[in-house]
Amino acid sequence: MFTRLLLSLSSTLGRTQASRELKWMQQAIDSRAVTASLDDMVSRRVRGEPLQYILGTQPFGPLNLLTRPPVLIPRPETEHWVMRLAESLSPTAQRPISLLDLGTGSGCIPLLLCKLWPPGSLKAYGVDISPHALSLAQDNAALCGFSRMDGDKSLSTNTFKAVKASFLDHDFLKHGSSVNPPFDVVTSNPPYISWNEYLDLDASVSDFEDPKALFGGPDGLDFYHAIRHLVSREGFLTPSATVALEVGHTQANAVENMMRGTGRFRSTEVWLDPWGKQRTVVARV
């Protein structure tokens, strides 16, 4: 039976990847992380469903995050730049900082920073319009031990809270929101896939992950324009703030120019991902 499953997986994934994924599925069953049978998992995988949804988790840095359709699955490129961002800043419990993550999805970016920075040094917020994303982000926060208790004034741990809001709205965070600027760090992995590219996406992405988390308008840059307006707002960033934005493989220059054009930043740079693609635009006030 195992051989049959391996064969059917191999037909879509190739032999090596198939045996690896089969092993991970078996491990998930052994650790009781999933209730599905190996048979079910393999047939879902053969139909193109992402492994991360089938297993229900994805390791992200030292964290193991929950994944649930249709919320965007955390990517290794994101893991890489967030770990680098964590090393480039050093908040302390004595001088804690605040962070806003735009389009937080699973909450992976703020939660990894909560994990990597010293306890009590970070108060993070995430916004998203998707109720699926908000509930997953809150579940992940609870799983990682960074849930923010209302009225909890203790600063002994880092905290993360996900709030429903659209950063495309003109009055975003303006009226009596529980999330208040200024922010020391603004991060985002906004939807950045363009119209043309959307049609060429692998079915495991386009058929399973939320189009609202992927599709960034005709040229994929719609959300960066919104972010440009936001960070240009008076009092949105602290005087020493850092903005870190993940971008699509061809968008780094355009987004870097946008950030420069605000006149708000002392410096901007582009970070490469592990595969050599320009992946992150980092701007410093």
- Is 138 in contact with 127 (CB distance < 8 Å)? no
For another protein, the closer of residues 3 and 94 by Cβ is 3
DSSP-based three-state secondary structure for 73? coil
DSSP-based three-state secondary structure for 74? coil
Contact status: 201 vs another protein (CB under 8 A): yes
For another protein, the closer of residues 98 and 251 by Cβ is 251
Residue from 66, 86, 213, 259 binding another protein (CB under 8 A): 213
Q: How far is Cα of residue 213 from the mean position of the Cα atoms in its chain?
A: 10
Residue from 11, 76, 145, 253 binding another protein (CB under 8 A): 76
Residue from 44, 68, 75, 233 binding another protein (CB under 8 A): 75
For another protein, the closer of residues 146 and 192 by Cβ is 192
What value does the CA radius of gyration of the chain take, rounded to a whole number of Å?
20
DSSP string covering 116-172: HSPTTSEEEEEEES-HHHHHHHHHHHHHHT-BPPTT----SS-EEEEEE--TTSTTT
For another protein, the closer of residues 261 and 274 by Cβ is 274
- Is 179 in contact with 173 (CB distance < 8 Å)? yes
Site residues (CB under 8 A) for another protein, limited to 15-74: 17, 19-21, 23-24, 50-52, 58-62, 72-73
Residues at the contact surface with another protein, assessed by CB under 8 A: 17, 19-21, 23-24, 50-52, 58-62, 72-73, 75-80, 83, 189, 191-193, 197, 201-202, 204-205, 209, 213-214, 246-249, 273-275, 277, 279
